[in-house]
Structures are given as C-alpha cells and as structure tokens.
C-alpha cells in the first residue's frame, strides 16, 4: 500500500511543482547567485518534459545493460539524461523551497547531541539488514561482527550511542543494490528518481527490497501518520548533513553529483570484493572530499543534483 502511496505522491508533486518551476525560471538573474545561474543555464539546454519522454523510444536494450561508471562517456552511463535532467529540475525546486529550509531550521533548532542520538538510533535499526546482506555476500565473519555491534549498542544504550565503535566494531553500511553489484549484476544506466534522487536501475530495484526490510515498516504498520513523519524526519536529517556541499559543487551540479554517485557505488562494491583501487574506473576531477560527502546523497532526496 505504501508503495502505491509513494507513486501517487510523486505524480502529484510533479504536477504541483510544474508552475513553481516555471516561476523559478522567470526570476531575474540579477537576484541569483553565480552557482544558480550556471545551474539554470545547464538546465535550460535540456529539452522539455514531453520531448524528453519522446526520446525514450531511442533507447535500445543494450543501453540498459551497461555497468555505469563515472569514467564512461555520457551516452553510455547516462542515456536517459534528458529525462533525468527534468526530474532533477523538479527535485531541485523541492529542495530549494522545502527540504533545504527545513534542514537549516532543523540544524539551528535541534541540539547536535539530539541529532546525533537520532542518527545512531536509525543506524542501529539497520544493522540486522546489514548483516543479512553480508551473509548473502558470503561474508559470515563480517555479518557476525555487525550483529555484535547491534547487540552491544542495543543493550547498553538502546542504540542511541555507539559504544561498539570504541570496542573496534565499526559499522559497514549495506543495501541490496550493492549486494547485487557484488555478484556482478550490472547497474544499468544512471537514473534520477523523483524525491529520492541519484540511483541506477539496479539500485532502484535494491531500494524497493530495502524498503521492505526496514523495522519501521512493521513497527508502525498500523500508524501511517507516524511512519511518514519518521520518513520525513529521516530525509530532513540526511539533508542537514550535506548543507556544506552546496559550497563545493559548482558549474553543472547534475553531472557532478551523477559522477560522484557512480564513483562512490563502484568503489563500495570493489572494496567489498577486496579489489585494488587501481582496478576501479575513476574520473580525475572528483576530489576525495566530494566522495565522502556523497555518502549522504542516497539517503536524501532533493539536494539531488
């Protein structure tokens, strides 16, 4: 039921924000920052939403079998770029008008200790699913360590703090899309999802599986209001963690975030396989600081590029 609600919310949001996006485009450029002007210039080159949909007929089956990485030509890693840029523009409107203002207020009004405890609690709830993915990947020792983390943190602090880290039990985040990549399932082309943001075909499917594994889905099964409130808080908290990234991303933010996302995903999978860094296809103009900040991208919708 909640998956259907998400589809309806996405469609309604697309319709409601179309006028807002049109109004944003009409704002005098003198009132915008240089970054916003550059971003608008890049977006204005994109075809209309209708034209973008028409271009999908040119996509061939082999285009969907690509294992996308940041070093590939755009026609290979991002054949859906016209449509992706339209969704990106929608997400950007939502971000500037809703997500970012809420994240700023959240950072200013909620004490850092409270925010940290909330993040620890959410992360701790995800540890059993991390362990399941590690077992599927054939790494039982890592899975046992993850369950040890969950046990220590739950018993000692109910997950509100992370004493396990001081005992040498570091966390290792997992998701089903990464597990599929671990077994060689190609990512498919880059994909921008409404509200969610950067993804690929493989990771989009992985998100559906991950959503069924969240404890909140079952704990709050009969309390839709609480469930969606918690999901909104999760997004606001994640968005608050990347406020500083806006100062770093210049020029075509769509392309920058796409390449950071693809590079980070490929690195995560290669690292779990024990591959050397030299075996990973990287782009040279993405700095390490960008990649570290990108860890939060897939948990927040609209900084989305």
* Span 13-29, average pLDDT: 44
Give residue-wise pLDDT tens across range 31-46. Answer: 444 444 444 444 444 4
The pLDDT, as a whole number, for residue 244 is: 83
* Span 124-137, average pLDDT: 96
* Span 160-168, average pLDDT: 95
Give residue-wise pLDDT tens across range 222-278. Answer: 888 998 999 999 999 999 998 887 778 888 999 999 999 999 999 999 999 888 655
* Span 44-50, average pLDDT: 52
Question: Which has the higher per-residue pLDDT, 294 or 141?
Answer: 141
Q: Give 191's strand partners.
A: 199
The pLDDT, as a whole number, for residue 142 is: 96
Beta-carbon count within 10 A of 168 CB: 7
**Residues 252/254/257/259 CA torsion (nearest 10 deg):** -80
**Ranges of each domain in the chain:** 43-299
Percent of the chain with pLDDT over 70: 70
Q: Tell me how far CA of residue 74 lies from CA of 172, 251, 285, in angstroms.
A: 31, 17, 15
């Amino acid at each position: 039921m909640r998956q259907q609600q998400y589809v309806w919310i996405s469609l309604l949001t697309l319709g409601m924000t179309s006028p807002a996006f049109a109004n944003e485009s009409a704002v005098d450029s003198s009132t915008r920052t240089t970054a916003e002007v550059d971003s608008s210039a890049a977006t204005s080159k994109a075809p209309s939403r209708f034209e973008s949909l028409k271009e999908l007929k040119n996509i061939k089956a082999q285009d969907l079998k690509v294992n996308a990485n940041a070093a590939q030509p755009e026609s290979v890693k991002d054949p859906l770029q016209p449509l992706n840029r339209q969704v990106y523009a929608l997400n950007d409107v939502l971000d500037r008008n809703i997500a970012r203002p809420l994240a700023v207020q959240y950072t200013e009004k909620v004490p850092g200790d409270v925010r940290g405890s909330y993040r620890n609690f959410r992360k701790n709830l995800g540890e059993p699913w991390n362990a399941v993915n590690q077992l599927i990947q054939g790494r039982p020792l890592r899975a046992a360590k993850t369950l040890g983390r969950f046990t220590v943190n739950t018993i000692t602090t109910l997950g509100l703090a992370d004493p396990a880290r001081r005992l040498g039990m570091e966390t290792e985040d997992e998701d089903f899309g990464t597990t599929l990549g671990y077994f060689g399932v190609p990512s498919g082309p880059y994909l921008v999802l409404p509200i969610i943001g950067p993804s690929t075909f493989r990771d989009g499917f992985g998100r559906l599986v991950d959503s069924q594994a969240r404890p909140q889905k079952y704990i709050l099964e009969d309390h839709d209001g609480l469930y969606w409130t918690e999901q909104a808080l999760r997004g606001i908290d994640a968005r608050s963690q990347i406020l500083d990234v806006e100062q770093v991303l210049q020029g075509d933010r769509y392309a920058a975030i796409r390449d950071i996302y693809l590079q980070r995903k490929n690195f995560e999978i290669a690292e779990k396989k024990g591959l050397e860094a030299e075996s990973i296809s990287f782009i040279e103009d993405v700095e390490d600081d960008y990649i570290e900040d990108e860890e939060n991208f897939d948990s927040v919708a609209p900084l989305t590029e």
